[in-house]
Structure 1
Amino acid sequence: MSNEKKGFPKFLKIILIIVFVAAAIVGYLGYQAFLGPSVTDKEAYLYVHTGDTYADVLAELEQKQIVKNVRFFDYAAQAMDYPVAVKPGKYKLTPGLSNRRLIGNLRGGYQEAVKFRFENIRLKENFAALLGKNFEADSAAFLRLLDNADVAEKYGFTTANFFSMFIPNTYEIYWNTAPDKIVARFHDEYNKFWNTERKDKAAALNLTPEEVSILASIVKGEALHKDEMPKIAGLYLNRLKRGILLQADPTVIFANNDFTIRRVLNKHLTIDNPYNTYRFKGLPPGPIMLPSIAAIDAVLNYEKHDYIYMCAKDDFSGYHNFAVTQAEHMVNARKFQRALDARNIKK
């Protein structure tokens, strides 16, 4: 029988089958390592800290089960030279994302910015804690900056009024941004906020932007309703113009450092503290809280009237009764005191 009629050698068939199976396995493994769904739904973000090595990233992926198979990720990462291109950041994780896409994001540093919003912040310590919760640096690092006289002076503030530089709003900032860079970003936004129009309105009140913010913090402390802010601002501006003590209860609470006070008593008014506007004339040295944009604009666009007294309404609606004379004010004050007594609010 001729060679042409002979069957294909059996050993070659076996070799071809082995090669085919091996190629299929390699192809499957390659697909899984590079292109197959890899990212799980265990975590929403991967945090790569400043100074982290590739080994740190790999350990984080394995510990938190961020990828289905960490060996496949490692194989793809090595092939894509990621171990020498680790970049810190907060990276969004999409379930089903392939290793190739994930590694591409990590290599390129394509992180998602933090949408940071703040308002109703009372103390620098509260603000530092919020910053530390949202960004890589801890709260202590932020507090050191907020208390640093040189940093405050660099931006044209004192340590007392530096807090007014931070305008409550929504900001997009990368998670691993250094604290000093974040502060610089807030300063840029402060300058944008205090445009020519706002500066001119402040000058018309014979106030600096910092003083407007201090007064706005008092207005914010007094007002539960935004629509009443311009009237309250007008009242305090009347007192400032006439040289009358502001006698603002929120400043007394701040001076006593007791934010549980619901009823300001005579004992609270005796504290020797520059924030006690029952004893010290004019504005306190700094804001008693971060004023809202609404409160700042309420001062700049205050309601013109002759009121110099106000007292919370006895219906506890959060609104106030306003008065021109002390006699009118005492009538309103007695109503409110009786309402407090009726509710057994003693302090």
Structure 2
Amino acid sequence: MRILIRLLFLAIFSVILLVGWFYLHIHSSIRLTTTPFQFSISPGSNLKQVSQQLEDAGVIHSKWSLILLARYLDRESAIKAGDYQLDSTLTQIALLDYLTKGDAKQNAIQFIEGWTFNQLKKTLRAYPNIQHDIGELTEQEILHQIGATETTAEGLFFPDTYFFIKGDSDIHILRRAYQAMQTHLQHTWHSRSEGLPLATPYEALILASIIEKETGTASDRAEIAGVFINRLRKGMKLQTDPTIIYGLGDQFDGNLRKKDLLADQAYNTYTRAGLPPTPIALPSLASIRAALNPAETDALYFVAKGNGESEFSTNLADHNKAVDKYQKQQK
């Protein structure tokens, strides 16, 4: 009996010590090795990893006090990824509130529809908070690292705003943008109109990139897509200037000349039938949808009016009249 009483007393005493230890840790102020103290929580980090990170940095005395507190308050999976900064001492309860409220700073980078891959890379390199891993990697090496099966990078990255924490890799951001494009492209491909002269989602991506560069007003997008689809069906050359400009690369000085239209090259859709070999820019989701669900139209031609809109024609005679009309207005 005395042994049982002693064991019971020891158990009660141990619980009191544990509760006291826990109370002391969660209500005592944490110690900051520097002020301000900055740290980052990577996406996918769990409670144990974050607690260990803070213990290793000397911010908290024991990772288990934060783990037990989070479990007790049912916030074990509520910690948010991001960049954090502590400017003054606070308790572990206040620290847990900070980590779970979503007040972390997140950097953002934006990829714009119509950009080329070179423009995208320059933007990535200009961000100081990004870890620059692509460096001198070749295009094929970059594609391999992000898990892409394509042989060229042009047009493969979905234009959007991507949030990242300080020190995140440019390869990781590119992988996310590539996966986003694949998701949108595959989803739209499965809901495409019947009978399109497009054999693969990649061909749809190529056409969408052309539509992106040709569209000045969103309301014209589907009809521009319809014109290109009609021309592909009839075996007509696409005859679209943006592909030639892309093919000229650094040789393009802002002025497209007649000799450029006549000089044969892989992206000259005046001299070659069908689609060019690759996309020419990042297409928006709207352009992808237009390529795969074009307007039903008899138009085979269009010309820019100079105000962002396009004039559509069903025959060459009317198109030439529209060209004369709107080109004169622009001179």
> Which range, TM-score by smaller chain?
0.5 to 0.7
Partner of 1:10: none
Distance 1:166 1:324 in 2: 34
Partner of 2:75: none
Distance 1:176 1:250 in 2: 36
Distance verdict in 2 for CA 1:327–1:113, change over 3 Å? same
Larger Rg: 1
5 Å matches for 1:155-234? 155-159=148-152, 162-201=153-192, 204-207=195-198, 208-234=200-226
Distance verdict in 2 for CA 1:273–1:131, change over 3 Å? same
**Structure 1 residue 286: deviation in Å?**
1.1
Distance 1:309 1:271 in 2: 22
Distance 1:262 1:183 in 2: 29
Partner of 1:291: 283
* 8 A contact 1:202–1:209 mirrored in 2: no
Distance 1:91 1:153 in 2: 24
Say if 2:324 is the partner of 1:330.
no
**Structure 1 residue 166: deviation in Å?**
1.0
Partner of 1:320: 310
Indicate the SS of the match to 1:321: strand
Distance 2:187 2:29 in 1: 59
C-alpha RMSD of the superposition: 3.8
Aligned residue pairs, count: 262
5 Å matches for 1:1-347? 34=31, 38-39=35-36, 80=60, 91-93=83-85, 96-98=87-89, 112-134=105-127, 135-138=129-132, 141=134, 144=137, 146-148=139-141, 151=144, 154-159=147-152, 162-201=153-192, 204-207=195-198, 208-257=200-249, 264-313=256-305, 316-341=306-331
**Structure 1 residue 164: deviation in Å?**
2.7
The residue type paired with residue 253 of structure 1 is I
Cα shift readout 1:102-150 (whole Å, capped 9, x = no counterpart) = xx79xx9x97443333213532121112223345233x71673644386
The residue type paired with residue 327 of structure 2 is Q
Cα shift readout 1:258-296 (whole Å, capped 9, x = no counterpart) = 597665321221333211111111111111111111111
Instruction: Provide the identity percentage.
Output: 26
Indicate the SS of the match to 1:172: strand
Distance verdict in 2 for CA 1:98–1:145, change over 3 Å? farther
The residue type paired with residue 223 of structure 1 is T
Unaligned runs of 5+ residues in structure 1 are 1-30, 40-44, 49-76, 83-88, 342-347
Distance verdict in 2 for CA 1:274–1:292, change over 3 Å? same
The residue type paired with residue 221 of structure 1 is K
Distance 1:334 1:274 in 2: 29
TM-score, with structure 2 as normaliser: 0.66
